[in-house]
Amino acid sequence: MRLLHTMLRVVDLEKSIEFYEQALKMRLLRRKDYESGRFTLAFLGYGEEADVAVLELTHNWDRKEYELGNAFGHLAIGVEDLQASYDHCLKHGATPKVAPKVFGSGTRLAFVKDPDGYDVELIELSSKFSAGEVPRD
């Protein structure tokens, strides 16, 4: 078994795709409109769906807003340079939540919000894993 994708409902699909492509450097893998259901699915990621878990953005055409609720936590993205990645996200429409800092465990991380208000955690890989353990594509 393996995790295939995580789905987020979004209000403005174009804005969300642009954010995940530009701010978080994901690639749009596929996109499909479902006329009968009045929704569109877009899948983005850092590799092919056959190899890695990806992000599914769902846009329901007749929905103008969502309540985020209190059960969802955040997406976590591993980055090489925390400060540069944080600044890059802000430049591409992210809202700051927690500026880059070192937590008690020694892990360097920051939080931003995407265009729909979902939290995105940026974790500096070198502070999370030793040199031989850093996950790679």
Catalytic residue set: 121
Strand bridging mode 75-79 / 95-102? unpaired
Consecutive H or E run containing 101: strand 95-102
* Alpha-carbon gap, residue 44 to 66, rounded angstroms: 21
Output the CA torsion 16→18→22→25 (10° steps).
Answer: 70
